[in-house]
Structure 1
Amino acid sequence: MPSQSIEVRKNSVLDRFELYVDDFLAGVAAYQDTANERAFVHTEIYPQFEGQGFGRKLVQGALDRTRDEGFGILPLCPMVHHFVESRPAYLALVPYWSRERLNLPQH
């Protein structure tokens, strides 16, 4: 099976990150920026791409870019919340003031 081209792109016009698999739009992670944080409000992998690990690639790419841009993250959508909850390196990007409210570990 040939390897797939996978790319996460930021679409600032639509306030979302987009996952492309072999140049097909496979999913999106919508966000809303505040002064210091980027709140992830909805993440979706389209049906024909589900169950192949693309959600993880989309979220990781979006969070890496968010970190590189100097934002903290507010994982409001379940997919991003689960990703952050199980990865301490990304949990560190969530501001302390929001962790209890979002049911995330405090450390």
Structure 2
Amino acid sequence: MKPVVRDNFGASQFDAYIDGVVVASLHYQIQDGEIWLLFTDVPGGRMGKALASSLITSALSDAQRRRLAVRPFCPKVRHMIATLPNYLMLVPHDERVRLHSSLIADKQEAERQQQLARAQEQRNARRRAVRHAQPAAA
């Protein structure tokens, strides 16, 4: 089911609704003709990714319509802007340089986390193999 996204201006957040219930939010701050997209509050998993995507595209479309510059503080927003180049022009030039650098750092961190997870799984597999190889105590 596709969520309905609304700007909750009083709370400075975009809210995603499913069946009339808020299930996710994108928090922002508007200042000096800019919208600062601060962080997303979404559940994990595939549903969370779809909710985050709906929230972010709604916020970016709203910023574009209102001619607000976008400061993407949230990593999910930075990633979305990188995958949707038509929104990149909303980001001020100085921030685009930082955006590119942060995306590289985010990618490197994700790769590092994957390597750590693989190494931990290998250690766990070795431990399981050792336990299975030991004879049962009499």
TM-score (norm 2): 0.66
**What is the aligned counterpart of 1:71 among 54, 62, 68?**
68
Deviation at 1:102, TM superposition (A): 2.6
Q: Which residue does the alignment assign to 2:16?
A: 19
Deviation at 1:17, TM superposition (A): 0.6
Query: Which structure shows the higher helix fraction?
Result: 2
Aligned-CA RMSD value: 1.5
The secondary structure found in structure 1 opposite 2:4 is: strand
Higher relative contact order (CA 8 A, sep 6+): 1
- Per-residue deviation, 1:103: 2.4
Paired residues, number: 99
Matched, 1:51 2:61: no
Q: Which residue is 2:98 aligned to?
A: 101
Unaligned runs of 5+ in 2: 102-138
Higher strand share: 1
- Cα distance change of structure 1 residues 35 and 57 upon mapping to structure 2, 3 Å threshold: same
Q: Secondary structure, in 3 states, of the residue corresponding to 1:32?
A: strand
State the match for 1:9 in structure 2.
6
Q: 1:56 to 1:5 in 2, by over 3 A?
A: closer
Q: CA deviation at 1:78?
A: 0.6
Q: Unpaired runs of 5+ in structure 1?
A: none
Identity of matched residues, %: 27
Tell me which structure has the larger Cα radius of gyration.
2
Structure 1 runs of 4+ with >4 Å offset: none
* Aligned partner of residue 64 in structure 2, secondary structure: helix
Who is 2:131 aligned against?
Answer: none
2:90 is paired with a residue whose SS is coil
CA distance in structure 2 between the aligned counterparts of 1:29 and 1:44, rounded to whole angstroms:
6
